[in-house]
Structure 1
Amino acid sequence: MILTRKIEIVIDENERELRSEYLKQIHSWGYLVRNGANELISYLYSIDRLKYYKFITEDTKIELGIIGAKGETIKEGSASYVLLSERLKGQVPMDVANALQQNVTNSYKEIRGKIFKGTASLKSFGNIPIPFGGASLRNLVYKEYTNSYHFSLFGIPFVTVLGRDRSNNNYVLNKCLTKEIKICTSSLQISENKRKLFLLLSVEMPRIELSLSEENFIDAHLSIETPIVAFFRNEKKMIGNKEEYLHRRIQIQKALKRAQINSAYTNGGRGRKRKTKALENFNGKEKDYINTKLHTYSRLLIDFAVKNRCSTINLINQTLKEKDAVKNPFLLRNWGYYGLKQKLAYKANLFGIKIVDKTG
């Protein structure tokens, strides 16, 4: 399975002017990648839609050809590559253009059916990561005296910032270094405030082989009162509680609201930046807290399944609960069913455990 790790990195260059040039180059790539992605997805939709317009005759549809860079007619499947090549050639590495073409095309295919049904709109890309093939990450080495990994990407040197490494990224990078796991198409992300860089490292993790019993299963109930209540035969396991998850989340929301109200009375002098300084302390805090808790809850449930050699986790009445949550603004705002299911799915897949929605 493909697993993505988010690792903070910095440019490994002591000379200030050169480091600044590298940073400008990365931001320029980010700008071009965003524009290229938006143009490409619009192009894919327009070409796709031409086939279904009733006011265009069949003969006209046949005559509508796609011209390549050298003036020759090309196949429809190659058109997206030609578009990005002409737009980005010489401005971004071609490996980035290739990876971007694949990512945007796959993203469009996922929502194509919903767009034609009118249940979804065409996606718009904002601050998207800069994609690249795994082979572009080169010269990966570990330096013990700094406890960090150094590598180069399109000629720009980087070094990792692992910190406390609660996600065990050191283990993943070490496996990449020894080539025990393969680096797949990854990406370089610029933070929203443009102050930090992150490596979104995608690796192909081997499935952990366990002797699971096909007869053993867990019935799990997801709710806002207790995030997960799991049953295995006569054993009951409660994971998390309302006070731990919901209370803390609401407190963050209230603190942000107070900061927004109080910012009206903050002294000026440096304009908007000073007015909103208190709000920046809460930037992404609620999202990070939720992400951490959902990772913890999903891991505890998977550990419970592995301990009892269960091959299946049944999510009881989950589809019905998600429909009810849409009607309840409080649940929709404060309870992340999708995030928890998503984290459960990829962790379960790592151990070969099936996740099943069950009515009962």
Structure 2
Amino acid sequence: MQTVTIQIRILPDNPSVLVDIGNEYIRTVNELTEQAEVSGTFPKLTSKTVHANLPSAVKNQLIRDAKSIFQKTKKLNKRPILKKRVYYVNNQNYAIGDSSVSFPVVMDGKVQRLVVPAIITDREKTMLSNSKHGLLRVVQKSAKWFVQISIERPTAGAEGETLMGVDLGLKVPAVVVTSSGKTKFVGNGRKNKYIRRKYNAWRRKLGKLKKLSAIRKQRDKESRYMKDQNHKISHQIVNMAIQERISVIKLEKLAGIRKTTRTSRKNAKNLHNWSFYQLQQFITYKAALAGIKVVEVDPAYTSQTCPSCGQHNKAKDRTYQCACGYAAHRDRVGAINITRQPVADGNSLSA
């Protein structure tokens, strides 16, 4: 099973109700964690002993949240304080209709079920109907309201798995190889580097003119461009996985990718700016929506090991050549070996 989050736009008739319950939720959680920090231990609490203008079911959820935050406080030696309003409801106390979402709130001193109009697509309805529901979270983003619902979706089992390996890089953002041997080069590394250089040049000119707001706008534009590229790359990879009936996608464990990726002087800035982590998260999330499992593998020597005989050889530029006669693109060799690598630490990625 993999856990993903669905975000649904809601259109509340009276947003002030959501503002009030969100503020009350975080106020109470912060109050409980502060009291626990002072006493040095988290007390035994029930919905009756927590004083908040919230339904009992929501009080029970915020007690769990407060306890979890207090445990983090002991590890970090610093108490996290909630600032953004939020409202959590467990899966037994909300309902999702064809065009509405309902959950309990307190209005006029009474617990009532608030029914809020919602925009729910057919795709989201299908996903919700074929999965196990988790917590519902009410949030506000840029004056718009959403409910975020965590769901668990089944993934393919180990028996008869069809695998896909993905090698991440700069000159070629992603190279994909399936266990049946099909290969796909995804993304345009040259164009990405050109865009990076262009934005960097603009920022240098603006910096000399001391136009700080313009620099921030340019940085935001560059970030949006790279995010769009990562979305497109991940979309192509997952679409190929669906077409090839892939059950497991193997990705590089990113802890050492900045050390293992070959760089030249002109590539150094691109390496540190490129969001490998973001791309991997997009692949993971889209794969989970399609019911495809994603796991991490250790990328060590994947670009140096011959897929045919197992010898270690360093590639010359982008060409890999082995004494046994095997030759291929360096990144394709990496993707093939990633497909064959065991799962790192036995853990899969969460969406």
- Output the TM-score relative to the length of structure 1: 0.59
> What are the ranges of 5 or more consecutive residues in structure 2 without an aligned counterpart?
105-112, 262-266, 302-351
Q: Match for residue 158 of structure 1?
A: 116
Q: Match for residue 220 of structure 1?
A: 166
Q: Match for residue 141 of structure 1?
A: 97
Counterpart pick for 1:205 among 147, 153, 159:
153
Q: Match for residue 172 of structure 1?
A: 124
Shift of 1:188: 0.6
Question: How many residue pairs get matched?
Answer: 281
Query: Is 1:240 aligned to residue 240 of structure 2?
Result: no
Query: Is 1:358 aligned to residue 299 of structure 2?
Result: yes
CA displacement 1:72-115 (0-9 Å, x = unmatched)? xxxx5xx2745x8655x3422333332233345446657865x2
> What are the ranges of 5 or more consecutive residues in structure 1 without an aligned counterpart?
14-18, 51-65, 67-75, 143-148, 163-168, 265-277
Asked if structure 1 preserves the Cα contact closer than 8 Å seen for 2:6 and 2:149, the reply is: yes
Counterpart pick for 2:176 among 225, 230, 245:
230
Task: Give the CA RMSD over aligned residues.
Answer: 4.5
Percent of aligned pairs with the same amino acid: 18
Q: Which amino acid aligns with 2:279?
A: L
Asked if structure 2 preserves the Cα contact closer than 8 Å seen for 1:7 and 1:198, the reply is: yes
Shift of 1:184: 1.8
Query: Is 1:33 aligned to residue 30 of structure 2?
Result: no
Shift of 1:285: 7.1
Shift of 1:129: 2.8
Shift of 1:6: 1.3
Closer/same/farther in 2, CA of residues 296 and 41 from structure 1, 3 Å limit: farther
Q: Which amino acid aligns with 1:222?
A: L
- Output the TM-score relative to the length of structure 2: 0.60
- What SS does structure 1 have at the residue aligned with 2:125? helix
Q: How does 1:170-319 map to 2 (within 5 A)?
A: 170-173=122-125, 176=128, 180-191=130-141, 193=142, 195-207=143-155, 209=156, 213-214=160-161, 217-232=163-178, 235-242=182-189, 293-308=229-244, 312-316=248-252, 318-319=254-255
Closer/same/farther in 2, CA of residues 292 and 112 from structure 1, 3 Å limit: farther
Write 1 or 2 for the structure with the bigger share of helix.
1
- What SS does structure 1 have at the residue aligned with 2:154? coil
Q: Which amino acid aligns with 2:97?
A: V
CA displacement 1:27-57 (0-9 Å, x = unmatched)? 122222233333444555666xx5xxxxxxx
Asked if structure 2 preserves the Cα contact closer than 8 Å seen for 1:313 and 1:356, the reply is: no
Distance (Å, rounded) in 2 between the aligned partners of 1:80 and 1:251: 59
Shift of 1:173: 2.5
CA displacement 1:245-298 (0-9 Å, x = unmatched)? 56668888969x97x97798xxxxxxxxxxxxx999999877666555434433
Shift of 1:359: 1.4
Q: Match for residue 99 of structure 1?
A: 61
Q: Which amino acid aligns with 1:184?
A: G
- What SS does structure 2 have at the residue aligned with 1:199? strand
CA displacement 1:179-211 (0-9 Å, x = unmatched)? 5534321111012x4x2111112223333x479
